[in-house]
Structures are given as structure tokens and as C-alpha cells.
Structure 1
Amino acid sequence: MRSLPLSSSAFDAGRHAEAHLAADFAGGCTMLRRQHVGYPFHVTRGFYLDVARPELLTLYLQSASGGLYAGDRLKLDVAVAANAAFHLTTQASTVVHHGRESGALQQQAITVGPGAFCAIASDPYVLFPGADLCLDTIATVADDAVLFLADGFAVHDPKQAGRPFASFSSRQRILRPDGRILLLDRGSIRGDEMRNGALGDMAAVASIVLIAPPDRLPDVGTFSRIVDTCGCLSGASPAPNGAGLVMRILAPDGGTLARGLEAAFHVAGRAALGADLARRRK
């Protein structure tokens, strides 16, 4: 039997995989109407964790591999139908390995229907030395829907030899169903910039976009204050075109950042759904 090279092998050109998830509201709760998940993606059964909002479906998206590798091109397609309530998160942080001049690309296409609630809240990526990761997200959100979208990263050098990651970049495009652009956000940072103090002594960074009608948004000051109590340094402001709120978060490490993102999810969930949500155990 011939052995195949591991995903991290120099002989591997990277993986191309897609995951498609469609959530509908039926019978008083949200359920997965369709799922197609290719390796390395993996999902378990859905969970209904909130007594006050029993229709809210929480799904953990897992990785069946050891993280993201050079040449990986992964795409996640999420569709949340009218009046559904869906929360997609990860089971843990995802390690990003050396990019080997080809890097890794994670794409997301999200559609949120009228009256729906959708939260895509991944744990921070962990950038190993040489990691080169690009996140590219496009979301279409109905006028009265809610989208909570969070992504970020933490830096980790296992040998503590001062070796930086290569690059992290993110692009987010938020549109209305008629194609009108609400928000376009782009950012990038190189590892040597962080090593040279571009973010002070902080080693973890995240962005949050919260698209919602005004009556389903949290108070800006409360939003930031609760995240800061987790040990983070955050700043929130209104999003362009009256779309909602945006937040940037800095943290000294990945664990602190993960706690700040979790707190932000609960603040946003309380404002959007009118109830305190249960803790998502991992």
C-alpha cells in the first residue's frame, strides 16, 4: 500500500474544500435543511442550549486535520433562512502553519434572510512562524436581520525564538439583498510589523462586525466596557450607512482574546434576541 504525503509535506499542493450549511426555521425551531461538508471540515449534531430562545441552533464547525497548511483553499457557505436563528462557532482555535510562499485562504459566503439571526464566531486563529493567512468574507444581510461576525488571530512561536508569522489579511464585504454595499473593510499586517511594536505588547487582534436594526443593537459604551473587563482593549463605533456597529479588539494573548470575543457575542445576542444566552462550552 502506497503512503500518501501528509498535508504539511512539501509534496502537497494544498487542499481545496467546501462546506455548505443551510438553516431553516420550521416547527418552532431552527434546523439544518442541507449540509455538505468536505474534508477537513466536520460538524456534529446541532445543539439547542438556550431555554429562553429554544429556536436558536448552535453548531460547532470542527477541523479534522491539524490546522491550515500551505496552499489550502477552503470555502464556507452559510445560508440562514427567514426568521431562523443560527450560531456557528468552532470547537477550538485553528493553527495556521508555515505558508511556504503559497499561504492559506479561508473564504466565507453568508446569506441572512428577513428577520433572521446569524452569528459566525470563530475562535482566534493561531499563527505559527511563517504563517500566511487571508480571510475573505462576503455577506448578504436582509434589512431587518442580524449578523454577528467575528474573526481574529493570536501569535505563537513554539520555540520562543522570535520568529514572526508572514502575513495576516482580511477582507469583509457586507451587502443588502439588492446588491447595495453597506460596509467594505480591508486590513493586513505583517509579522515583522508586530514584532517591531506596531501593536505595542499585544499579541492578539480581532474585528467584530454587528449588522442589525437600531433597536437590536447594544449600547456602544456597554459593548466595549464588557469586552474590556476580560482583559482586552477594545473600541466600538457605528458602522457606515447606519448598518450597525464595528469593533476592534487587542489582547495580550489568544486566551484573553477568546474570552473577549465570547463576551461580545453574549452582549450582541442579548440585544438582538432579548435574552441572556447560555455559555457555549468547548
Structure 2
Amino acid sequence: MSAPRGTGREIGPAGDRLTRAADPGFVWPVVAAGPQTGPGALPVGSPGKVGVLDLDFRLDPRDPAGRTVLADRFQKSPLQVMRPLYLDPAVPAMPVVFVMSTGGGIVGGDRLDMDIRFAEGAHALVTTQAANRVHRMDVGYATQDVALRLGVGAVCEWLPDPLIPYGGSRFQQRLRAEVPESATLIAADILTAGRVARGEHWDVDACVSTVEIERPGGVPLVVDTTRITPDEAGHPLVTGDADAIGTLFVVAPGPA
């Protein structure tokens, strides 16, 4: 089951960036079902609650080897990136960028929004500093939206570390990617059962992860949603008895 298409924000820029980041668009009812206000809870839009990350990867026109560089970026706490590193000797022109958080994980009321663009021929790997922890939420819910836009012949490797939704958390994340026929996307969506060592095993109030991949113009290639609630956790078609579940999406030109 997938979120209604067209009910979220468009991939392209629209309106004030921070205002757009604070509004996730469509939110699954199971995610938004809990109380929205309570003692001591910071409201959405408070300092440190709306994280924004805009990255623009391009080929360096001055580099004869065709190195990809992070040509432009905008970041707002709690999201930030460290400087690109060129770590892979097999692909020396590819930068590796680590997305970092200034906080200790995702909490109720957080709205995280990333817009990552890959110009024609650019190739970059974007990952995270560590697994992303989603804390228990007595009040509110949290969302994360990631938009990947690939140019002609671009290669995007979106390989974040696993998500760890703690017991009692309510979280929704959405990955949207626009991939031309000549471009390549490698994207991972990995969820874990929570703090297993403490006895948690898919004890979330609600966790929904959606991946939408389309061609320019809106032709869909992939619409995949994983929804975990107390009623669905443990079902053989959802999590079974696994401690982690995940999917690797690969979209490439020509035959696989």
C-alpha cells in the first residue's frame, strides 16, 4: 500500500525553503495518530527542529580527470555534511559525502528535508555518519523527506546507514528520485527492529518508509512502501521474525 501520489511536495524547488521543509505534505494517519501537544514538547518550527540540506554535485570543468565536486550546498541544523572525501581508489573522481546530525537522533516534531541534485555526468556517494536513531515519542511525530534529482548520465549512490526506530516512535520517511534513462541510481532502504538488546522488536507505534522512483515527466518506475504498526509487526509479509529488513534499488540504463 502506497501513499497517494501527488499529495506530497513536488521534487522541484517551490516557495520559501524553510517553510516547505516544515510541511511534509501527506502524512500517514497511523503516524499522525498520537497526541500533538504536551508539556515540555517543542512545537514544529522551533530552533533545531527543521533540518534542511541542499546539495548540488557537478563535474569540475577545470579537472581533466572529470572529478565530481560539491559545487553548492545549504544546510540548517540539525542537518549538515562534512567536506567531500575521495576514498575509493577504483573510482577516484567520486566524492563520498557523510550526512551528519547535530542532535542525538530524531525526536518528535522533527522535520528533516534533503534536496540533492546531480548535474550531467556527476557521480557521488551520499551516506550517513552512523545509523539513524528515532527516539520514543510521547508527543507528535517526525518526518524525513529526501529528493534525489539526477541529470543526464549522472550516477547517484544513496546508501544511508540503517534506521533504528525505537519502541513508541512515530516516524515517516519518503525518498523520491527522478532518474533519466541514461542515469544510474543505487539506493538503500534498511530498517532495524529497534534496540534489540533491550528487548525491543518492532515495538514502534508507527514507522512508514516510502520509496518513489520516476522518470522525468512523472512516469513511475518504483512505488514501494513499508508500513510497520503494532498490528503489522511480525507478520510474515512485513517483518516476520527478522531483526532487520531492507531493499536495494538499482535503476540503470540498458540491461542489468
Counterpart of 2:40 in structure 1 is 10
The amino acid of 2:210's aligned partner reads R
Counterpart pick for 2:177 among 125, 139, 144: 139
Counterpart of 1:53 in structure 2 is 91
Using the TM superposition, name which of 82-91 and 204-213 deviates more: 204-213
Return the TM-score normalized by structure 2: 0.75
CA drift at 1:195: 5.1
Counterpart of 1:234 in structure 2 is none
Return the TM-score normalized by structure 1: 0.68
> Are 2:48 and 1:22 aligned?
no
CA drift at 1:47: 0.8
The amino acid of 1:143's aligned partner reads E
CA drift at 1:34: 0.6
**Quick check: 1:90–1:123 contact (8 Å CA) kept in 2?**
yes
Identity %: 28
The 1:201/1:25 distance shift into structure 2, 3 A limit, reads same
**Quick check: 1:97–1:127 contact (8 Å CA) kept in 2?**
yes
**Quick check: 2:57–2:117 contact (8 Å CA) kept in 1?**
yes
The amino acid of 2:130's aligned partner reads A
Work out the CA distance in 2 between the residues paired with 1:187 and 1:161.
Answer: 19
Counterpart of 1:152 in structure 2 is 190
**Quick check: 2:194–2:202 contact (8 Å CA) kept in 1?**
no
Work out the CA distance in 2 between the residues paired with 1:162 and 1:155.
Answer: 5
Secondary structure of the residue aligned to 1:151 is strand
The amino acid of 2:242's aligned partner reads M
Counterpart of 1:213 in structure 2 is 253
1:73-111 CA deviation, whole Å, 9 max, x = no partner? 110100011111110001110110113352211001110
The amino acid of 2:150's aligned partner reads V
Counterpart pick for 2:163 among 109, 125, 134: 125
The 1:183/1:195 distance shift into structure 2, 3 A limit, reads closer
Counterpart of 1:183 in structure 2 is 222
Counterpart of 1:203 in structure 2 is 243
The runs of 5 or more residues in structure 2 that have no matched partner are: 1-38
Deviation >6 Å, runs of 4+: none
**Quick check: 1:164–1:195 contact (8 Å CA) kept in 2?**
no
1:155-187 CA deviation, whole Å, 9 max, x = no partner? 224643778111111222212123222222223
CA drift at 1:135: 1.0
Highest relative contact order (Cα 8 Å, sep 6+), 1 or 2? 2
Secondary structure of the residue aligned to 2:92 is coil
Q: How many residues align?
A: 209
The amino acid of 2:42's aligned partner reads D
CA-based RMSD: 2.2
Work out the CA distance in 2 between the residues paired with 1:106 and 1:51.
Answer: 32
**Quick check: 2:201–2:243 contact (8 Å CA) kept in 1?**
no
CA drift at 1:196: 6.9
Indicate the structure with greater helix content.
1
Work out the CA distance in 2 between the residues paired with 1:128 and 1:161.
Answer: 8
**Quick check: 2:210–2:223 contact (8 Å CA) kept in 1?**
yes
Counterpart of 1:223 in structure 2 is none
